[in-house]
Amino acid sequence: MNRFAELFTALDQTTKITPKVAALAAYFRTAPEADKLWTIALLSGRRPKRTVTTTRLREWAAERAGIPLWLFEEAYPIVGDLAETIALVLPPPGQTSTRSLSEWITEIRGLAALEEPERRAFILSAWDSLPPTEAFVFNKLITGGFRMGVSTKLMTRALSQATEIPEAELAHRLMGDWTPETTSFEALVLTRDPEADLSKPYPFYLAYGLEDAPETLGPPEGWQAEHKWDGIRGQLILRGGQHFVWSRGEELMTDRFPELASLRDFLPEGTVLDGELLAWGDEAPLSFNALQKRIGRKTVPKKLLTEAPVILRAYDLLEAGGTDLRDTPLAERRALLEAMLEELPEGLPLRLSPALTFDSWDALAEIRVGSRALGAEGVMLKRRASPYLAGRKKGDWWKWKVDPLVIDAVMIYAQAGHGRRANLFTDYTFAVWDGNELVPFTKAYSGLTDAEFRQITAWVRKNTLERFGPVRRVTPEHVFEIAFEGIQASPRHKSGVALRFPRMSRWRKDKPLQEANTLEDLKEMLAIYG
């Protein structure tokens, strides 16, 4: 664990990319293979499941530190991180442990089979054998909230430097449905297994938001445009007589979209499509809310299959006949995709994402304005000569989203943030008027400057009416403009609506409380955009 704790410290002490990559590369050159494998897993989101509740950890930490639980609970929101709070209150260790990272994780995973007294004994013994930094890392592993401020891309770059395997090849090897329990460092990283590659998606190419006017991109004829659909980005893979559906977050979702199994009978072997998974009805996208009902399900009941059937709206062809096409220019990939889909019979759960016809940027701007009415978030711009790259790159792919919807609302509750914002009230609940009553309808915690958060924090401390644990009810006084991407009906909310991606776009110091929007205004927006 000492070696991994040193890596954690090195990564935590800098925000610069080069030192982070250098520290990781050095670690990957010298660490035991089992530890290297678990480090890759942790940095790619494959964390061990939580085996002890945070309630018990707080109780045991207070007991080990010899302080009352209420004092620990008061310190926790100030520090803002449970793992760090525990590490800070623990007394110095009375013994020394030589367990490696992988050995600690094996022990942690084994806690699930133990009774609570045995779990408590193990945790207390661990705390008594680890110095502060290692105890902090151990606590992170226990709570399941492990983050190191390193993206998968940076980790892959460092691994490439350590192994001299090309970064793009490594990125592909690290994709897929693997865990440290099902593979080894040798098999995953150092050995190319064609059989294992059958199910693996390609690293997704991600677009940046367009910041400047589209005219800065040059003549429009060099660009392909299509709508940016509001669904789940996914890849459909057909290899070895099987099909696989992967989300952008590297989650295998084949069983959640059984409709797509029929495509095995019509698409050629060795095909990989990139596109958007959409709930579909009457030849048009349904709301994201309809799709969301299926996201968390391992099996989908027939009723839901009927209410929210899913299609793949394809916009790129990454592999054809088993040949990797990612280095082929987009214009050629698009032509091959169109030819492939033209041969398919009607009624399949697969549609081409239409290319938009425009002869000027002004013409495309007009098309963009009407995107929301079509169930889209805006338009995508892709350079016709571009290859399909890995990760987020600037230059060839851009997303040009429609302006968000906005509504003015009143802040009625406030809660402290986490991490570096643990001393600030940054998480707010907002309400709109329903007659003379303020009805809560959404929460938001982003969009303001640090200076504005500090100003609101000082105000909250002076204007708290009631406390509910970490939440404070405050005097209704401040109006904020809330921006959001979509709105849908929601029986779970008192207001009857739920917003998609709400955030604070500005503090309306110019607007009096009585001029905030109403619940009727929200319902009118729901009728138009829901």
Active site amino acids: 228
DSSP 395-449: SSEEEEEPPPEEEEEEEEEEEE-SGGGTTSEEEEEEEEEETTEEEEEEEE--SS-
108 with 139: CB under 8 angstroms? Answer: no
Q: Tell me if 474 sits within 8 A of 425, measured CB to CB.
A: no
C-beta contacts of 467-472 below 8 A and 24+ residues apart: 470/77, 470/415, 470/416, 471/413, 471/414, 471/415, 472/413, 472/414, 472/415, 472/425
CB 480 within 8 A of CB 500: no
Count of C-beta atoms within a 10 Å radius of residue 240: 14
Q: Which is nearest to 242 in space by CA: 200, 191, 187?
A: 200
| Strand ranges in 485-530 using DSSP code E only, listed in sequence order | 486-489, 497-500, 503-507
Which residues pair with residue 466 across a beta bridge? 473
Q: What one-character DSSP code corresponds to residue 151?
A: -
Residue whose entry in the numeric block shows the structure tokens 């001299």: 164
Question: Could you tell me where the DSSP H helices lie in 1-81?
Answer: 2-12, 17-30, 33-43, 54-65, 69-79
530 contacts 287 by C-beta, under 8 angstroms: yes
Smallest CA-to-CA distance from 99 within 148, 34, 175, 195 is with: 34
DSSP state of 267: S
Contact 343, 268 (CB under 8 A): no
Residue 442, C-beta contacts closer than 8 angstroms, at least 6 positions apart = 409, 429, 430, 482, 484, 498, 499, 502
Give the number of residues written for the chain.
Answer: 530
Task: Indicate the pairing of strand 497-500 with strand 486-489.
Answer: antiparallel
Q: Which amino acid is at 529?
A: Y
